[in-house]
Structure 1
Amino acid sequence: MTSSLFPQDSKKRLIFLAFLIVGIATAHYLTSVALHYYHNIYRRLFYLPIIFGAFWFGRGGGLGVAFVTSLVYLPHVLIQWQATPKGNLDQFLEMLMFHVVGGLTGMLVEQVEHRQVQLVEANRRLESANAEIRASYEALKRQSEALLQAEEALMRKNRLASLGELLANMAHELRTPLGSIKGVAEIFRDKLPEDDKLHELSKILVLQVDRLNHVVENFLQFVRSGPKAHGGNAEVGEIVTDVLALSRQRAEAGKIEIVTAIPSALPPVAIDPEPLQQVLLNLVVNAIQAMPEGGRLEILARDMGDKVEISVSDTGCGIPSEVREKIFDPFFTTKTGGTGLGLSICERIVSGFGGLLTVTSEVGEGTTFTVALPKKTTMA
């Protein structure tokens, strides 16, 4: 049995053993038999090739080298026996010990090798078991994450259902005062001469009430059955212009610089104008509120292939990560007196039209909300 402890080049080892045995035997034969002290030393040196043989070639190697050593040593024993026949019994016993030492050493080496093989196999099985445990852990972790996501989705769905019912009631209640406001505005519009400035303001008021009524109607349909994911057609540049017209005064009062970059060739997006205006106006107002000491508001739009991205960025205080994780949850708010519904409604509107609303933020640097909406497809 060949051990990993054994030499890889067995031929060189055999030559070394032969050289060692011949060298020790030569010292025996060249030394006078009368010099017992030296012969005792040489006889002990024969254990070196025997032990080497056992270590390098196992039990068979140890016994083989012991046998060869005994054959080489035997003539010297016979010569010395003739010189002193009564004093050589211990030398024959020494040759017996050669074989005992060679066999025992080789057996111990083989046991060590066998134990090493067992340890390697045990280590391999342990690594295999560890790999299975890691795989099981990863699978369990994925299942746990999936369950948590499913639970969060269910909770979110329940919250949205409650939100829809609540907002449907609120929208329904808004229709009565809007009707009254429109009626009064129409009376002023009809009574006042057309060159009167109040006549123009009353016309604007009627138009805005009609727009709010349209928003309410759309919102009622939205919270009941969800927005339509097709059929919309909104020009981003026009919507941004309208949003800035409604919020510019507030921005200027707060010393906020407004920067826009809307390509003129930007294609329309597949969403109705009113809900897109509602989303962008909410994001712009939030950005202005995030910069009470003034700052910079950027509205950028870019063509991203099959989608159009609209980003609203501010240089405000930023949003901590633990808040960002819940920012689109209904009724979650960090504002005093806030309802926690604005961003939730925006997220639902955008997702309902096949888009995605995301947020990135760094505390102390600012926040960017990005609305990604599919392009309006032209039917051939």
Structure 2
Amino acid sequence: MASADRTGPAPRASLSLQPPSALRQRADHVHEKSGRSGRSRRRYFAEQRLKLAGRLLPTSAAIGALTGILTVLDLYLRNPPAMATIAGAAVAILVGLCSLVVPRIVHRRVEALLGVATAVSCVTMLGWGLIARATGGPESHYVMIIALAGFAMAATVPLPPGIALINACASYAGLWIAGEPPLYAHVTLFMSGVAGVVLAQSRHRVSIATFRRIERLSAAVSRMRRVQEQLVVVEKLEALRVLVGGMAHELNNALAVSVASNQQAAKMLSEPLEPSLSAIQKSDGGLKRIRRTVDRLRRFAMAAEGILEPADVGAMLDFALESAIGRARSGVIVLRNYDPTVGAIECHVAALAEALFQIARNAVEAMPGGGTIQASVRNDGDRVVLSVSDEGHGIPEGELARVFDPFYSRGPRQTSKSGLGLSAVYGLVSALGGRVEIRSEVGKGTEVAIVMPRRKKS
């Protein structure tokens, strides 16, 4: 008997789509959290400054408090010399003042915090050297505190290797102030100083490595964000092409029947029915206008079905600019920079002509009061670049991803347009195997470039 299937049903896939505004808000929030503004060097020092202040403040406060407590205990329990009491009080007060300065300079340069850290280290080590000297010299039970305090300072506060070395030298100076130290004190202090410098060096290397990893991760997130935005635009336009292709096919069939019927009816009418004939002719004109619009939609959706033919792209760009300027009737000047070595290239002529006209019309409409258009045709390796730049108001950075949206307009909307704009340009150019590049600066203008592969005749 066959065994029963115990694997169970496959997990069900699910997709939950939130409102567009909520998704945009979440994406912007993630991008802001992952983004890092300013130069890398400045960001690194800002992080080190905050980390140093966060450790230096409690460490210096603890050193001042412990020094004060030990001084008070010695004063009541051991009756130390006046010199030791004065030195202990002075160390506690000076270190306490340094800890009070830290919050006021936390947002300034990191050098100020390093100066405070050096002052805390020197005051602590030299002060305890005086205390040890006043309480028995090398035999004082406070001699080892100098070594312990120096290592504690290097271990708790993220000091640079140079400051850690100064801290070790201050500890050794404090030891000599206490008197001629025994051999074990030399060895202990030397080992603690070396350990502090090595710890600071390793900590410095780890902090740099961590910062670089964070920088690479942030850059990767930014690249993923840009690629995701491009992918969303491409998928949206691909879906639009499929929709437009279906609509154009269905509408074209209906229009073909209507136009043919109108033409047949016009032939059958006699002379006395002149008004009816005029009405039919007007209807026929409207249907033909709709048919031209549908043909443009079909060229957008079915651009890849065209036949490759050699064409002079410079002449095509000139014709597109002249057509756009002639319709606008504005004072537009065109400056041309065409590389004569480009020559004719293999392309879908109708698709490229439509794309160039859309770009030229956008450039002219961006300057309603007239201006200068820079048109260029140049070689770029095995590709040809056709670019048109205007002197309009430009496009804000946040709006660049929307320029490929249907019905998007940089200025006042005009209902007489087809509304496809650069979305049609993308569909036509992508069918040719090329890409569309846009560069814009607010207040200076916009440049739209078509980058196409140079095909060879088979």
Matched, 1:289 2:365: yes
Aligned to 2:455: 376
Q: Which amino acid aligns with 1:237?
A: G
Q: Which moved more, 1:106-115 or 1:211-220?
A: 211-220
Cα distance in structure 2, aligned partners of 1:233 and 1:299: 21
Matched, 1:234 2:311: yes
* Paired residue secondary structure (2:344): coil
* Paired residue secondary structure (2:457): coil
Q: Counterparts in 2 of 1:100-119, with a 5 A limit?
A: 102-104=180-182, 106-119=183-196
Change (3 A) 1:289 1:174: farther
Change (3 A) 1:302 1:250: same
For the 8 Å contact 1:296–1:315, the answer to whether it is kept is yes
Work out the number of aligned pairs and report it: 259
Cα distance in structure 2, aligned partners of 1:263 and 1:154: 33
Change (3 A) 1:289 1:132: same
Q: Counterparts in 2 of 1:161-180, with a 5 A limit?
A: 161-172=238-249, 174-175=251-252, 176-177=254-255
Instruction: Give the CA deviation at 1:180.
Output: 5.4
Instruction: Give the CA deviation at 1:120.
Output: 1.4
Change (3 A) 1:370 1:146: closer
For the 8 Å contact 1:309–1:372, the answer to whether it is kept is yes
For the 8 Å contact 2:337–2:375, the answer to whether it is kept is yes
Change (3 A) 1:210 1:337: closer
For the 8 Å contact 2:437–2:449, the answer to whether it is kept is yes
* Paired residue secondary structure (1:364): coil
Aligned to 2:233: 156
Q: Which amino acid aligns with 1:155?
A: V
Aligned to 2:155: none
Change (3 A) 1:296 1:173: farther
Pick one of 268, 277, 300 that aligns with 1:219.
300
Instruction: Give the CA deviation at 1:164.
Output: 2.4
String of CA shifts for 1:105-152, please: whole Å, max 9, x gaps: x44343332222111111122123223422432343355345535643
For the 8 Å contact 2:366–2:410, the answer to whether it is kept is no
Q: Which moved more, 1:367-376 or 1:296-305?
A: 296-305
Q: What TM-score do you get using the length of structure 1 for normalisation?
A: 0.56
Change (3 A) 1:264 1:156: closer
For the 8 Å contact 1:215–1:274, the answer to whether it is kept is no
Q: Which amino acid aligns with 1:125?
A: S
For the 8 Å contact 1:268–1:376, the answer to whether it is kept is no
Q: Which moved more, 1:355-364 or 1:239-248?
A: 239-248
Instruction: Give the CA deviation at 1:279.
Output: 1.0
Change (3 A) 1:377 1:333: same
Change (3 A) 1:101 1:372: closer
String of CA shifts for 1:152-196, please: whole Å, max 9, x gaps: 3553354234422432244235524477568879999xxxxxxxx
Cα distance in structure 2, aligned partners of 1:260 and 1:186: 49
Aligned to 1:361: 440
Pick one of 240, 248, 254 that aligns with 2:330.
254
Aligned to 2:394: 318
Aligned to 1:272: 348
Aligned to 2:320: 243
Cα distance in structure 1, aligned partners of 2:189 and 2:305: 77
Cα distance in structure 2, aligned partners of 1:178 and 1:360: 42
For the 8 Å contact 1:268–1:375, the answer to whether it is kept is no
Cα distance in structure 2, aligned partners of 1:103 and 1:295: 86
Instruction: Give the CA deviation at 1:256.
Output: 1.6
Cα distance in structure 1, aligned partners of 2:342 and 2:406: 32
Cα distance in structure 2, aligned partners of 1:185 and 1:269: 40
Instruction: Give the CA deviation at 1:284.
Output: 1.0
Change (3 A) 1:154 1:304: closer
Change (3 A) 1:124 1:270: farther
Instruction: Give the CA deviation at 1:316.
Output: 1.9
String of CA shifts for 1:73-97, please: whole Å, max 9, x gaps: xxxxxxxxxxxxxxxxxxxxxxxxx
Aligned to 1:131: 208
Instruction: Give the CA deviation at 1:212.
Output: 6.9
For the 8 Å contact 1:237–1:264, the answer to whether it is kept is no
String of CA shifts for 1:253-275, please: whole Å, max 9, x gaps: 21222343445553223421111
Instruction: Give the CA deviation at 1:208.
Output: 10
Aligned to 2:80: none
Q: Which ranges in structure 1 are unaligned for 5 or more consecutive residues?
A: 1-50, 52-99, 189-206
Q: What TM-score do you get using the length of structure 2 for normalisation?
A: 0.47
For the 8 Å contact 2:301–2:427, the answer to whether it is kept is no
Change (3 A) 1:212 1:279: same
Aligned to 2:427: 348
Cα distance in structure 1, aligned partners of 2:222 and 2:380: 31
Q: Which amino acid aligns with 1:324?
A: L
Aligned to 1:80: none
Pick one of 256, 279, 302 that aligns with 2:378.
302
Q: Counterparts in 2 of 1:179-198, with a 5 A limit?
A: none
Change (3 A) 1:358 1:123: same
Change (3 A) 1:347 1:160: closer
Q: Which ranges in structure 2 are unaligned for 5 or more consecutive residues?
A: 1-136, 138-177, 267-287
